[in-house]
Amino acid sequence: MTTTAATAQPAWTAERMPRLDGSTVIVTGANSGIGLEAVRAFARQGAHVVLAVRDEQRGRDAAANVEGSIEVRRLDLADLASVRQFAAECTGDIDILVNNAGVLMPPYGLTTDGFELHFGTNHLGHFALTNLLLPHISGRVVTVASGEHRSGTIDFDDLNWATRRYGGGSAAYGQSKLANLLFTLELQRRLDASGSHVVATAAHPGMAATNLGSSMTNPVLSAVAKVALRLFAHDATSGATPTLYAATEPMPGAGYAGPGGKRELTGPPVLVGRSDAAADAALAARLWGVSEQLTGIRYPL
């Protein structure tokens, strides 16, 4: 009897996404990079896509090069008043929310509400947005994290880096990306407890050639980043595929998608692991409670 080896599954690509006709998708930070590439893919599959962007003109310029049903709306995640206004104007059903926007190592600064820029934008802004929109969401909440979450720690005594050395901001970025995964973990727990059918997932793009690091001010880090991107990165289209996978493929609650290649830098999307801290349910619950206190916004379901 001859045994035939099982046929390997082909690598996942955006072309394997299901049709999304009649669906509404919101993508934050959608005017460039992996956010814009995700918009293109969602629109190509028939979804109505809302580009939630800080700069409406840049959003309109980006949308002009996307085929499909597109809407541009202003959202500044570093300003909770803007988050509240955006959410208040959302009245229809939302099938997928992609929390994609983020800042990477800008000079030390604070959001409008007085939070350190990384923590306030990457985590608290999306925390507030998601909770305000949850009554309208029927499908997925996808939050874009990073492999840099592994270097992150949550310092509850100094979330705003008032006493710690900020340096170039890499540690602050790591804290915010760890917060993204802890947010996804606790959000899924709450969704399950309230009987919701919404699924919270996360994704990271690996090393993608985008303009995310354009705000870096440390010349050494900036030079190293440029060389690394040139040598090892994949393009923004490939970097967006883990987000698309997490948004449309069957995924476990709080599942995390990333590139399947060496060190998760490049390659087709697969389910990936996370640090022990990012899987700590007690830490996730504590961060959620603090985030509610800081934003004044609570889980609505």
Question: Does a structural domain hold residue 4?
Answer: no
Total of domains in the chain = 1
270 bridge partner residues: 258
Report d(CA 82, CA 225) in Å as an integer: 32
Residues listed for the chain:
301
Q: What is the pLDDT of residue 32?
A: 94
8-18 pLDDT tens trace: 678 999 999 99
Q: Is the pLDDT of residue 191 over 90?
A: yes
CB 145 within 8 A of CB 180: yes
Question: Does a structural domain hold residue 185?
Answer: yes
Lowest model confidence (mean pLDDT) among 111-125, 142-156, 200-214, 231-245: 200-214
Question: Does a structural domain hold residue 1?
Answer: no
Question: Does a structural domain hold residue 117?
Answer: yes
Q: What is the pLDDT of residue 228?
A: 46
CB 181 within 8 A of CB 207: no
Lowest model confidence (mean pLDDT) among 31-45, 120-134, 203-217: 203-217
Instruction: Give the domain CATH number at 109.
Output: 3.40.50.720
CB 80 within 8 A of CB 112: yes
- Considering the candidates 173, 245, 256, 299, report the single residue annotated as catalytic: 173
Question: Does a structural domain hold residue 27?
Answer: yes
Q: Let me know if 173 is a catalytic residue.
A: yes
Quickly tell me which residue has 């970097």 as its tokens: 239
Mean pLDDT of 77-93: 97
Both tokens assigned to 7? 């046929």
Amino acid at 87: A
Q: Which domain holds residue 104?
A: 15-293
